[in-house]
Amino acid sequence: MRQQRARFAAAITLLMTLGATAAPGHAEEAAVDRVDAALQNITSIVRAKKVGYATIWDGNKYVQCHRLPSREMRCEAAGPTLQPSLKRVLTIERQNRLAALGWTVDPAFGNYAKVFPADAPTGQISADILRTLTEAYDINLQDLELKTDWVVDIPCPPRNGPSQNLAGMVSGAPSMLSTALLTCSYAAKPQPQTAETAEALIKLYGPSVTAEIQRLRVNAAHRVYAVFDSGIGYIQCMPETPPVALYCEAQSAESWAALSAVLKPDRVARLTAAGYKEPGRAPNYSKSYPLTLTDAAIAAEILTLLHDLYDYTGATKLDVKTD
């Protein structure tokens, strides 16, 4: 009887959350009942060396809960660390709403977490979960899915990895193990710095490219080279023999046909104006830099050409290949 009253009260609460004033409709009451049943299921079934999880979701927006050894119910709501697409959903306003509902960021995986008291009725917890999903994640109750599962009881159970469905969710599914996170925390790789101008690109990569040009100068009597690959096009350099200059080539459409969509006539004109010869002797555009130029000056021109010719902004890290 207590659970029935709790479920009915939860449905009333959820309906008020959705802006209705009448008695709870079938969809709202059914949603509370379904979540309540899942939470009761993981509470009542105890399996040796395993922990029961209840997951409620719509698309990749989810809340997952399990009982702690102290019988409290710990729940996690999906965060943008493992699901960057949620940045569009979890606006500042909705993040504030999560905080108001008692959810805090768990730094281990970037999900939002909330712990419910051990004596909190599962119907009440169900209403809280659905309120969170509707107010903060804007789910559609008609598309609500849920499941219960029992996962091995270890300090850091497997979780769906980044870019996977329901990323960050604890899961022992064999189909997900190849991409699962088996660690106790996750930090997203920092996004590469980008440069909107050639000057900004020189500031970003100038020191490292200058050092490579210096290496070619120092080892001019040997067979050494450096390729500065933007991922779209490259410029490669090596000392000329005898060592009186630094010979560089800029990749052409003759060596990679896809570049014909990038190297339009105005860009080719920019390249030839910088002193590069048309393909012929080599399949690429070529230029000899006199060693009277400083290493920094040569590096600056290489980076400027990568930016102006191949639209390189540093969105992907500059790949420097050497001998």
The pLDDT tens digits of the residues spanning 64-88 come to 999 999 999 999 999 999 999 999 9
**What's the pLDDT score for residue 19?**
43
Q: To the nearest whole percent, how much of the chain has pLDDT over 90?
A: 82
**What's the pLDDT score for residue 241?**
77
What phi-psi label fits residue 59: left (phi over 0), alpha (psi between -120 and 50 degrees) or beta?
A: left
DSSP 276-299: PBPSSSSSSEEEEEETTS-HHHHH
Q: What is the mean pLDDT of residues 113-123?
A: 97
Mean of per-residue pLDDT scores for the chain: 91
pLDDT in tens, 231-274: 999 999 999 977 689 999 999 999 999 999 999 999 999 999 99
8 pLDDT more than 50? no
Structure token digits, residue 36:
């309540």
Instruction: Supply the pTM of this predicted model.
Output: 0.61
Q: What is the mean pLDDT of residues 209-231?
A: 95
Comparing 147-156, 253-262, 302-311, which segment has the lowest mean pLDDT? Answer: 253-262
Cβ burial 2-26 (10 Å sphere, 16+ → b, else e): eeeebbbbbbbbbbeebeeeeebee
For the chain, the farthest-separated pair of C-alpha atoms sits apart, in whole angstroms, at 95
100 pLDDT more than 60? yes
Distance CA 66, CA 51 (A): 7
The structure tokens 């930016």 sit at 307
232 CB contacts (<8 Å, ≥6 apart)?
Answer: 259, 262, 310, 311, 312
Distance CA 223, CA 68 (A): 64
Alpha helices, DSSP H, located in 219-246: none
- Of residues 7 and 260, which shows the higher confidence score? 260
CA distances from 58 to 96, 138, 275, 298 (A): 21, 9, 58, 54
CB 62 within 8 A of CB 169: yes
What phi-psi label fits residue 288: left (phi over 0), alpha (psi between -120 and 50 degrees) or beta?
A: beta
Name the residue ranges covered by the structural domains of the chain: 28-181, 198-322
